[in-house]
Structure 1
């Protein structure tokens, strides 16, 4: 009796997913351990590695590395510039009033601004109904693969036409 072993090769996408998952896991572990530059993990010093690898001191007696204390600047120098101000006098007020009185007044009515024309929105209902009708009409044209292509083209064209008709109907309802 002959038995043939069915070869079950791994799909290329599954292989790529496995490789990328492994790579991301390794990079994450390196970032946590502080082996990557600019990572927020605690960097391991060589003295800590020597103490832990020798195994001569029990774990309870090993001292943790001293935390790094960073100095925070709390005060900034702020300079306020003060300029002498000119005080307004009664003479200046009289001059301003005279200047306003000399100017001719304009009593024309302000121009009325029109509201911008509303923009028609795309209509999902119009697209759907147009695509359905276009696809049905296109499926009656040709035969074989040509019929499939005609149905797809009819659906695309019908969706566009249905959307345009729905946009026109939006404008008609607003006027």
Structure 2
């Protein structure tokens, strides 16, 4: 007499093992940064809600009067290779770098929960899947807890090229302001 349970259990174990391996590969690729992240770039001339808000003058801040032109000889200056005009400012959230604590805690929690399911070899599979899933989820939670906001500032240089700077602090410049890039930072152009 042939036991039907053992003939059905073997393909299920193969499927479960393949799922765990695939899930582990995707989790490792995500944790090491090999899966691409979604970032949107604003094309020149395309306005976003952040750029529209930054372009509007703030009613609470005093507006400086335009400078009067001084008569006299016009001094010829050499082109400034580090000078340009702020073209766009976009804020985006970036996930933080995990330390591994979330992955370990999630793996232990998932393993404990998985161990409560089923019995025999099913319990073992549930424990492994729970540990792998918990490790992935714990790692993602830790990244989300440590996320920060970064500002991407696109500057149209005087020579026509564009340069993009990324910084964690809100920029002290608005769209259309003349700036200079010094040591990777924006400074007012004088």
TM-score (norm 2): 0.31
Query: TM-score, normalized by length of structure 1?
Result: 0.33
The structure carrying a bigger strand percent of its residues is 2
Name the structure, 1 or 2, with higher relative contact order (CA <8 Å, separation 6+). Answer: 2
Q: Which has the larger radius of gyration?
A: 1
